[in-house]
Amino acid sequence: MSISQNAWDLDGMLLNRQKRRSELVRKCIPSSTKRIIDIGCAEGFTTKYMIDKDKFVVGIELNFDNLRTAKQKVKGVFYINGSIDFLPFLNNYFDVATILEVLEHLPTELQTKGLQETNRVLKFQGALIISVPYKEQITLTKCIHCDKDTPLYGHLHTLDENKVEALLPPEYSFQLKEKFNIPHMVYISCSNLFKYLPLSIWLKLNNLLGKTNLLRGYWIILKYIKN
């Protein structure tokens, strides 16, 4: 999600798109999961989909305004005002770590440090779920303060599955278990016409539309298992 967009304020197609993304993230979480850390949880929109009575969910967010909104909107989550490069938890503590629309905002050095820290707190055989804008064409705009070219939405990198994999800590083996390109055709698959479809049927429709190659997907969601 871009740093200027609060998913709670969306409606129509844009809201449906966020809901489908969140449903797919939830689908990636193993049923046996007990502890989840959502790194860069923003206003908690997708974090809400991770909550279960048997799960301990932590939301990490650097922006205090976002964190305040998350606390107001989503209860039952342990929130921390913090950064991806310092996670105040023991080694091998979490069953699942999610990093959703975060990596594209980070300088390369912070990407590396953050993924190393995420790896530290993630258990062996734990799931690492990452989502990023897929092969995004970075748009530059003039900053009103310094008059310099600045990436729109604060996106510093264009990413795909190969670039994300190259960022993972090399001393560990992360096996890619699932991959979703969503949505392939946002103006159709996320329209109000299909918003009531069950996720399984919607996903088949979305993947079928993707075969037309008209659009390659707005997001990519990657689920890795740490070996």
- Tell me if 55 is assigned to some domain: yes
Determine the residue type at 14: L
Domain count, the chain: 1
1 in a structural domain: no
Residue 8 has pLDDT above 90, yes or no: yes
* 205 in a structural domain: yes
Residue 165 falls inside a structural domain: yes
pLDDT for 225 equals 97
Q: Collapsing DSSP states into helix, strand and coil, what is residue 142?
A: strand
Residue 2 inside a domain? The answer is no
* CATH number of residue 89's parent domain: 3.40.50.150
In a domain, 173, yes or no: yes
Compute the distance between CA of residue 106 and CA of residue 189 in angstroms, rounded to an integer. Answer: 30
- Tell me which residue of 174, 178, 180, 179 sits closest to 225, measured CA to CA: 174
Structure tokens at 103: 């990596």
Residue the block writes with tokens 């990596």: 103
pLDDT (0 to 100) of residue 5: 67
Range of the domain at 15: 7-226
First to last CA, the chain: 29
The whole-number pLDDT of residue 48 equals 97
Q: Is 156 part of any domain?
A: yes
Whether 122 is in a domain gets the answer yes
Query: Could you report the per-residue pLDDT of 127-186, keeping only the tens digit for each?
Result: 999 999 888 777 666 666 666 666 666 677 888 999 999 999 988 789 999 998 887 677
For the beta carbon of residue 50, count every other beta carbon within 10 angstroms. 26
pLDDT at 140: 65
Long-range contacts of 47-55 (CB under 8 A, 24+ apart): 47/74, 47/77, 48/22, 48/73, 48/74, 49/22, 49/23, 49/25, 50/25, 50/26, 50/98, 51/76, 51/77
pLDDT digits (tens, 9 = 90+) for 170-226: 887 899 999 988 876 777 888 898 899 999 999 988 888 777 665 566 889 999 999
